[in-house]
Amino acid sequence: MSGPLLTIAGVSLDFEGIQALDDVSFEVARGRVCALIGPNGAGKSSMLNVVSGLYTPRSGSVHFEGAPLRSPRELARRGIARTFQNIALFRGMSVLDNVVLARDADARSTFFEHALRLGRAPHEERRARDEARDVLRFLGIDRYENTVVAELSYGLQKRVELARVLVVRPKLLLLDEPMAGMTAAEKDDMCGFLVNAHEAYGTTLVLIEHDLAVVMDLSDQVVVLDHGKKIAEGTPDEVRADPLVIEAYVGRFAA
Ligand X SMILES: Nc1ncnc2c1ncn2[C@@H]1O[C@H](COP(=O)(O)OP(=O)(O)OP(=O)(O)O)[C@@H](O)[C@H]1O
Chain residues in the site for ligand X (CB under 6 A): 15, 18, 20, 38, 40-46
Do residues 105 and 99 touch, judged by C-beta distance below 8 A? no
**CA 18, CA 128: separation in Å to the nearest integer?**
44
Q: Which is nearer to ligand X, 50 or 141 (CB)?
A: 50
To ligand X, the closest distance from the beta carbon of 191 in angstroms equals: 19
Give which of 184, 186, 100 is closest to 146, Cα–Cα: 100
Nearer CB in complex with ligand X: 60/119: 60
Query: 15 and 181 in contact (C-beta within 8 Å)?
Result: no
Which residues does residue 28 pair with via DSSP β-bridges, in sequence order? 6
Of the pair 43, 236, the CB lying nearest ligand X is at 43
Q: Report, in Å, the least distance between residue 181 CB and ligand X.
A: 13
Nearer to ligand X, 151 or 247 (CB): 247
Instruction: Give the C-alpha separation, 124 to 144, whole Å.
Output: 22
Question: In 3D, which of 46, 40, 7 has the Cα closest to residue 172?
Answer: 7
Question: Which amino acid is located at 104 in the chain?
Answer: D
Least Å from the CB of residue 44 to ligand X = 4
Smallest gap from residue 2 Cβ to ligand X (A): 31
Nearer to ligand X, 4 or 38 (CB): 38
- Closest CB to ligand X among residues 62, 156: 62
Tell me the DSSP string of 69-135.
---GGGHHHHTEEEE-SS----TTSBHHHHHHHHHHTT-SS-HHHHHHT-TTHHHHHHHHHHHHHHH
Q: How far is the CB of 56 from ligand X (least distance, A)?
A: 12
Q: How far is the CB of 47 from ligand X (least distance, A)?
A: 7
Half-sphere exposure of 154 (CA within 13 A, CB side): 12
